[in-house]
Chain A
């Protein structure tokens, strides 16, 4: 009983303290690096799309999306990625993905998105390809 109560308490604390998604932006000479951490799902995908759209509206057209710290991605995240990529390409820009691994890579592989987006092992490699 005590173990069950402790597990529930730890889940509750985790539930209260969890950060679902964070986005960090870093300007490099070749592209804008968008670092997405946490979850890219039905709840957070609109926030990601809104942020990237704002950057496009500000005139940015070359992006490297860094998924190093992304833990989870669903089709909602893939749709948001596709929607922003279409806008970027419409402005003759470029979007490259970096550090896709684990469960996130599996979702890319299952959905076939792995063949749509150029993927790089590191941000540095993606930035070199952006030039």
Chain B
């Protein structure tokens, strides 16, 4: 019997072990959606409490995906309530056909690969990521940072596979274009 089975049976220590194994990843994901700080921390903590209360009825196999679904939905709810107060849409429409624009880099910048390990690069990527619409960013992070499959992302975000493909691609292009706008020439130079 593993930790998940024991947690399902009401073993608080087993759940604690599972939760701690995903705590930072979950917080990182929510913090990149909501912004780091107390809101993201509260969302993650609420997600753990909610997961604990309903784990007896959890019948899936991926505890991580289930946890991310709970936390991600709560984070999206927080954003929706903030946007509702400001009377703004959650995201611009992102599922129509057509390819997102592909910015051509200016000559003379470094290759993206050359700056991949640098601290400045990480900051630039974080800044570029923050400009991506929320639901696209969510899907992209679930794929590139957490390594979920497209099917898992569709389940976590309660979306169609086609929507997931579109969101991930558009988000990647947005990040890439933003980096190019900072001076990197990408592979086109």
Please say whether chains A and B are actual partners in one complex. Answer: no
* Partner-B contacts on A (CB < 8 A): none
* Partner-A contacts on B (CB < 8 A): none
